[in-house]
Amino acid sequence: MTLEEEIESMQEEDEKQATVQFVAENGQTMFQPFEVPRDISPQKLQLVLKALFTDEADKNRPYLFFVNDAEIKETLSETTKFMLIDYEKTLHIVYQPQAVFRVRGVTRCTSSLSGHGEPVISSLFSPDGTKLASGSGDKTVRFWDLTTETPLFECKGHLNWVLAISWSPDCKTLASGDKNGHVICWDPLTGKQKVRSMTGHKQWITSLAWEPLHLASGGVCRKLCSASKDGDIRIWDTLTGTCMRSLTSHTASVTSVRWGGSGLLYSASQDRTIKVWGGDDGVMIRTLQGHGHWVNVLALNTDYVMRTGAFDPKDAKIVPDECKESGPRLRELAEKRYKSVIDIVGEELLVSGSDDFTMFMWKPQKEKKSIARMTGHQQLVNDVKFSPDARLVASASFDKSIRIWCGKTGKFIAVLRGHVRSVYQLAWSADSRLLVSGSSDSTLKLWSMDTKKLHTDLPGHGDEVYTVDWSPDGQKVVSGSKDKLLRLWRY
């Protein structure tokens, strides 16, 4: 081979190579740059990354790879085909860890649970996925046996429609709020009322939120926050049934309340504002403004990890073990899980949905100004949920559509169409790969986040579906309807 041919051969070889560097989601570069063929596939990138890791848990986790926010699906060269890439410089490949488990999509209704005498307004699995509760217009709260899929306890004590329910993160208490403004705490093991009704609100309860487990003193969940149409927010001591604080700065109905992982409270109102409060002292820290109409719903990127507390979905079993851990140990586990999420997402982000058809993304711990305005819905935004891994946001609207957004930037990703009437509520699977929606068209629909398309249609209810929830163990979906029934769905 002549010298010219040898040089030409070397140049051709260089053109087939690229110098890359793996970058974590938070921007950290743990490994040195190295050369790879430009036609390298994501499967081979996975093998390279696993070889670089020393921790066994990191080695066993599946990953997705991105260049300039574009996912590498076939090869690196195919992904960068239409990008202006300088291959003389190091190319950054962001690796994104995925859930180590995979939730199977629900396909069939295994039980139709009757008992409520009026529409089912709310239904919720416990943080460990072993218990189910529902609230209805018949003034009762019901607990259901998930092993036999039969009624367990009927809890009477409310004098009006039960509008909101919320599980404590340690699974030991269920709180419910009614149309008279009363809040009651129930023991899920006996179905009995724990303390006297907590009264003080002048109008109905719109939202309930427990103090996160990793903030609870001694790992005992006792602080509960309630929001009401009377414009007040109250913090209760659920062991004594007394009101610890009343937060009264909103000038109209408070529609949603969230208790953040840093100890801050966030409240949304029909006065078009979102307020940030100190959870310990009740001091109002800042007001977030921007919406032109009622603010209906709030979602935090840490909602899922705080809801599930010490119970990690990847450790779920078909026949769950009885939890024998003490309060301090549960708090320790919850704190570890919360910190692991914060290490990935960087900080707590808040998304608000409104009657003005828009959503805003905020950094509520630091700034008054929003970081993104999310537009596209044609009617009011009714529900917003961050995926469990905090990478995606799903929003439901009366315009019959669901929209998917980036959980970091608020950038629009996809629109999901299939419902023929208003979409009321959403729930994510624990692995963030599936989303279920309930609608006034009487159906549930399952959506795949891999394809951003309809996965399965789930008809069966006889009227509007008001509430849906996916159990944290990934095995079941529950839906509650105006037809007075709850339905359990499995794969």
pLDDT of 60-75, one tens digit each? 888 999 998 888 989 9
The number of beta carbons lying within 10 Å of the beta carbon of residue 351 is 25
Residue 133 one-letter amino acid? A
CA 163/CA 120 separation, integer angstroms: 9
Of residues 359 and 85, more confidently modeled: 359
Q: Which CATH architecture has domain 108-490?
A: 7 Propeller (2.130)
Q: What is the mean pLDDT of residues 162-170?
A: 96
CB burial string 61-81: b at 16+ within 10 A, e below: bebbbbbeeeebeebbeebbe
Of residues 300 and 319, more confidently modeled: 300
Residue 2 in this model has a pLDDT that exceeds 90: no
pLDDT at position 319, please? 57
CA 484/CA 136 separation, integer angstroms: 8
pLDDT at position 99, please? 80
Residue 12 in this model has a pLDDT that exceeds 60: no
For residue 111, the SS3 value is strand
Residue 315 one-letter amino acid? D
pLDDT at position 424, please? 97
For residue 209, the SS3 value is strand
Q: How far is CA 106 from CA 273, 387, 466, in A?
A: 38, 18, 19
Annotated domain spans of the chain: 16-97, 108-490
Phi, psi of 284 (to 5 degrees): -80, 125
Q: How confident is the model at residue 167 (pLDDT cuts 50, 70, 90)?
A: very high
Residue 36 in this model has a pLDDT that exceeds 70: yes
Q: Say how many CA atoms lie within 13 Å of 406 toward its Cβ.
A: 12
Q: What is the mean pLDDT of residues 329-352?
A: 93
Residue 262 one-letter amino acid? S
- CATH 3.10.20.90 at 16-97, yes or no: yes
CA 408/CA 41 separation, integer angstroms: 26
Dump the DSSP string for 316-339: --SSPPPP---HHHHHHHHHHHHH
Highest mean pLDDT: which of 16-25, 54-63, 66-75, 149-158? 149-158
Residue 6 in this model has a pLDDT that exceeds 90: no
CA 399/CA 407 separation, integer angstroms: 22
Residue 39 in this model has a pLDDT that exceeds 50: yes
Q: Record the pTM.
A: 0.89
- Give the list of residues 6+ apart from residue 326 with CB closer than 8 angstroms, or none: 219
Phi, psi of 343 (to 5 degrees): -60, -35
Q: How confident is the model at residue 10 (pLDDT cuts 50, 70, 90)?
A: very low
pLDDT at position 14, please? 47
Residue 46 in this model has a pLDDT that exceeds 50: yes
Residue 51 in this model has a pLDDT that exceeds 60: yes
Residue 321 in this model has a pLDDT that exceeds 60: no
Mean pLDDT of the chain: 92
pLDDT tens digit sequence for 429-450: 999 999 999 999 999 999 999 9
- How far out from the chain centre does Cα 383 lie? 11
pLDDT at position 320, please? 57
